[in-house]
Amino acid sequence: MDRLSEFVAQQMWLVLGMAGLTVYLLVSLLGRFNRGYQELTPAQLTLLVNREDALVVDMSPIADFEKAHIPGSRHVAPSQFDPENKVLAKVKDRPVVVVCRNGITAGPAARRLVKAGFKRVHVLAGGVGQWQAAELPLVKGKA
């Protein structure tokens, strides 16, 4: 125990850095549980669409969406994203999966859906890029 006290006294910055990193990781982990939506892998998304008729909402820029998107997904521009939009309002009780190119834009949109009362909201982790990396099919053109 004396050696531990001596180490802490000699390496105060190292100990403080480690404590700060631990607190940051715990806060990040707890934040994931409280965000109200679940991240999915491409395989989980496929199962959700096939088994529960999930609506896939793609938030990518229209040019990217037209180049390549997940089959059956619907495009909604981020500037026009509204939980009360006619496409979304009809599916409040169905699973809704928000996707974007890389998984960054989808999170805030998913949080808006949760706040609007959607119960089954998901995000594709890694976005369409992760879908493509899993070698799953993409389609071109408008939805």
Q: Which CATH number does the domain 37-133 belong to among 3.40.250.10, 3.30.110.70, 3.40.1350.10, 3.10.450.40?
A: 3.40.250.10
Q: How confident is the model at residue 28 (pLDDT cuts 50, 70, 90)?
A: low
Burial of 132 (0-12, 13-18, 19+ CB in 10 A): middle
| Tokens 């982790």 found at | 125
Residues of the chain with pLDDT > 70, as a percent, come to 92
CA distances from 115 to 35, 60, 126 (A): 10, 22, 23
pTM of the complete model: 0.76
> Which pLDDT belongs to residue 70?
95
